[in-house]
Structure formats: structure tokens, C-alpha cells
Amino acid sequence: MSDGRTLGQLLAQRGVSRRAFLKYSSYLASLMALPPAASRAMAEGLAKAPRQSVIWLSFQECTGCTESITRAHSPTLEDLIFDFISLDYHHTLQAASGEAAEAARHEAMAANKGKYIVVVDGSVPVGAGAIYSTIAGITNQQMLEETVKDAFAVVAVGTCAAFGGIPHARPNPTNAMPIRRLVKDKPVINISGCPPIPEAMAGTLAHVLAFGNVPELDSHGRPLAFFGDSIHDRCYRRPFYDKGQFAESFDDDGARKGWCLYKLGCKGPVTYNACATLKWNGGVSFPIQSGHGCLGCSEPHFWDMGGFYKPVSAPSDEVGPLAAIAVAGGAAAGVAAGLVHRAAKVKAKAAHTTVTVDDLEKTS
């Protein structure tokens, strides 16, 4: 819990110098595509900030999001974030249990009134009086309401908290709700993904700490620094897409040559996330690099997009706003994918022949 000392002072006692702040900020500025000069301001901001109280609420979820953020490889640069925050409540990670755990939550809320951050993973079931999921004798909905009341901001991590996710998939038996639908009077930052990229979670928290404000968000409430480009915009297989060279099955010649996975259902064109650049497991790979199309896990309704192996086609309601963003961002890729000319597709299917972007955009 914060005791009035700054992070700079707290960490200096443990032998962490201001150089470490500068290094961490250079790393984040690079991740978040901030102007490199911003890293000095970020380093100063972090060093002067108090340790941030964080209350982490887990509702209808699978704990994959917690796995992701704690999946640090060794105690170095990437997990400095755990020195910057004070995780005052997290029922999976904290040592306390039962009443002591709930007391810790109330204590943190009282001591950091108006300043603490609530991280939520999991959706909140509101059907049947919200009784489908309860913790410590109260419903998730009650716990959320009670905890966000005096928060500074709410961070919804994972697609379940951000958009409802798998619990929200049709027919949504528990009437699962995303956090933004339930929290109206506090800023809610969505960091979607199933699970979200750990760097996106850490980077967003560090931004809030260093600058004391909410980073710039897209229309789905996601930080633009991590969700500004589609997978397709940054995909290394994109030249094959542009040339109309597609794998038709997972073991054909095109697949072996590393051609575009669009026809095998890749949702890259309508999915906004940083997997293609930050990658996973410490930068080792990401689904497309491992030979499988993107599932679109960071998008609303990803579970109900009509099948993981069905190519994205005509714009549906869900694709609409995304396509609009793609155009605004100067990247017509999402639109082009949504409007693939049928004849061009058939032609390409015939023998992996070349289809240019122009062909694809010549829509009926």
C-alpha cells in the first residue's frame, strides 16, 4: 500500500537506480510507439508517482489473463511493473483468504480513495438476479459496483471483461455483460485478447502511472498504442495477400510456402491487436507465424463470428465499425478483405494465380 513515498524513493532502497526507470521507459516508449523523447518524461513521471494501488477482480473467467501478465521469464526489465504497483487484492494470487482477503480489499479502497485502479478480468453475469457467480457471499455485480465506486479508473483485461467473451457467446445463458456496460461513471480501458498481450497490460498500467491519465483509446475503448493497427496491417504474410497467393488447406503447397491464410479463415483483416509486432512468449512467435490464421480473439463477438475456418466476408454489423476505423487509419485493408470480389476469389482458387489489390477492390 502507498505510504507517501515515491516509486523512485521506494525502489532506490532496493538498489534500483533511476537508470532502471529510464531503461524501462525507453522500452515502453518503443512498445507503445511514443515519440522516443517521451521516455524521459515517462521515467520522471514514474519515479515521482506513488506506488499504485491495484484491486484485481476476477469474475466469469478462466484465469488465463492472470497467467498471461504473470508469465514473466526472469526478474528483469519486463516485470518492473510489479514493483510499480501494489496488488492489494487478487483472490488467486494473494496469500490472505476468506474474510482477511475481503478486509484487504476494503482497506485498500479506504486508504486510496479516488486513486486506486480496479483491474477486472471476466464478464459479469447479470441474469437471474446475478446469482450465477458470487464471491464472499455477494454477486460479482455487487462486488464490481462496490469496488469501482471510489476508483480512479477501471481496466478491463481480457475479452471477457472487455466484450463479454466466451461467457457472452450465444446463447449467453448467464446474460454475461462486459464491464463497460456496467460501469458508466468511471473511465474504463479495455485491453482485449484471449488472453491479452502481457506488454499491453503492463504498458497501459505504466502509462496511467507515469502520466496520471488514460491513454488515447479507440472506439472500443482500447489503447491505440496497442490496438491501433490490425493484425493484417502488420502481418509479414501480407505481401502474399496482396499478390493473391493463398494457402487453400493447412498442408498444401501454399501453406508450406508460407502464403496468406485468409482463405483458411484468418481474422487478421478485422482484428486489432499487436500480436504481429510484439508476438508471444517473449517475442517467439504468434499464431500466423506458427501456421494458423488469427482467431480474432481481441474483437467483440469473436466466438460468434461464424467459424474460425470461414474466411471473413461481407461486412456484418460487427465488422462495420472496424472497417470504418481501417479507412480512417489510411489502411483500406479491412475493407478490401470484406469486399473481396467473388470472381477474383474463384479465379485465385483455381490455381493460386495472382490477384492484385486492385482486383480485390474492384467490387461489384
Partner 1 sequence: MDPLEHAALSGTDEAAMAAKAEDSPLAMALLREISAALADYLETGETAVIDLKSLPMLDADRDALADLLGEGEVTATLNVAGESEVRETGYAGVWWVRHFGADRKLAAEQIEITAVPEILLAHRDDIAAAADRLAASLKTDPPEPMTTLDRDTHHV
List interacting residues with partner 1 (CB under 8 A). Answer: 8, 12, 16-20, 22-24, 26-27, 29-30, 33, 36-37, 39-40, 47, 72-74, 76-80, 282-283
Q: Using the 8-state DSSP alphabet, how is residue 153 labeled?
A: E
Could you tell me if 200 and 207 are in contact, meaning their C-beta atoms sit under 8 angstroms apart? no
Q: Which C-beta is closer to partner 1: that of 4 or that of 171?
A: 4
Q: Which stretch binds ligand SF4 (CB under 6 A): 29-37, 59-67, 255-263, 316-324?
A: 255-263
Long-range contact set of residues 332-335: C-beta below 8 Å, sequence gap at least 24? 332/361, 333/230, 333/232, 333/233, 333/269, 334/230, 334/232, 334/269, 334/270
268 near ligand SF4 (CB under 6 A): yes
260 near ligand SF4 (CB under 6 A): yes
Residue 90 is labelled as binding a ligand: no
Q: In the complex, what is the shortest distance from the CB of residue 261 to ligand SF4, in angstroms, rounded to a whole number?
A: 4
Residue 207 is labelled as binding a ligand: no
261 near ligand SF4 (CB under 6 A): yes
Residue 301 is labelled as binding a ligand: no
DSSP string, 55-86: EEEE-BS-SHHHHHHH--SSSSGGGGHHHHEE
Q: Which stretch binds ligand SF4 (CB under 6 A): 10-18, 157-165, 260-268, 314-322?
A: 260-268
262 near ligand SF4 (CB under 6 A): yes
Could you tell me if 272 and 298 are in contact, meaning their C-beta atoms sit under 8 angstroms apart? yes
Interface with ligand SF4 (CB under 6 A), residue from 237, 301, 345, 352: 237
Query: Parallel, antiparallel, or unpaired: how do β-strands 138-139 and 134-135 relate?
Result: antiparallel
295 near ligand SF4 (CB under 6 A): no
Residue 341 is labelled as binding a ligand: no
DSSP string, 177-218: E-HHHH--SS-EEEE-SSSPPHHHHHHHHHHHHHHSSPPPB-
Residue 297 is labelled as binding a ligand: yes
Can you tell me the distance from the alpha carbon of 192 to that of 231, in angstroms, rounded to the nearest whole number?
Answer: 14
Can you tell me the distance from the alpha carbon of 345 to that of 20, in angstroms, rounded to the nearest whole number?
Answer: 52
223 Cβ partners below 8 Å, 6+ apart?
A: 32, 189, 191, 200, 203, 204, 207, 215, 216, 217
Could you tell me if 86 and 207 are in contact, meaning their C-beta atoms sit under 8 angstroms apart? no
Residue 171: cis peptide before it, omega within 30 degrees of 0: yes
Can you tell me the distance from the alpha carbon of 218 to that of 224, in angstroms, rounded to the nearest whole number?
Answer: 6
Q: Give residues 32-91 in contact with ligand SF4 (rule: CB under 6 A).
A: none
Q: Which partner from the list partner 1, ligand SF4, none does 144 bind, CB cut-off 5 to 8 Å by kind?
A: none
Q: Which partner from the list partner 1, ligand SF4, none does 223 bind, CB cut-off 5 to 8 Å by kind?
A: none
Can you tell me the distance from the alpha carbon of 284 to that of 3, in angstroms, rounded to the nearest whole number?
Answer: 39
Residue 292 is labelled as binding a ligand: no
Q: Which partner from the list ligand SF4, partner 1, none does 41 bind, CB cut-off 5 to 8 Å by kind?
A: none
Q: Which stretch binds ligand SF4 (CB under 6 A): 62-70, 170-178, 233-241, 338-346?
A: 233-241
Q: Which C-beta is closer to ligand SF4: that of 220 or that of 267?
A: 267
Q: In the complex, what is the shortest distance from the CB of residue 28 to partner 1, in angstroms, rounded to a whole number?
A: 9
Q: Which C-beta is closer to ligand SF4: that of 183 or that of 340?
A: 340
Can you tell me the distance from the alpha carbon of 164 to that of 150, in angstroms, rounded to the nearest whole number?
Answer: 24
Q: What are the residues binding ligand SF4 (CB under 6 A)? A: 231-232, 235, 237-238, 241, 260-262, 266, 268-269, 288, 293-294
Binding site: residue ranges? Answer: 62, 65, 160, 194, 232, 235, 260, 266, 275, 294, 297
Give the residue ranges of the annotated binding site for [4Fe-4S] cluster.
62, 65, 160, 194, 232, 235, 260, 266
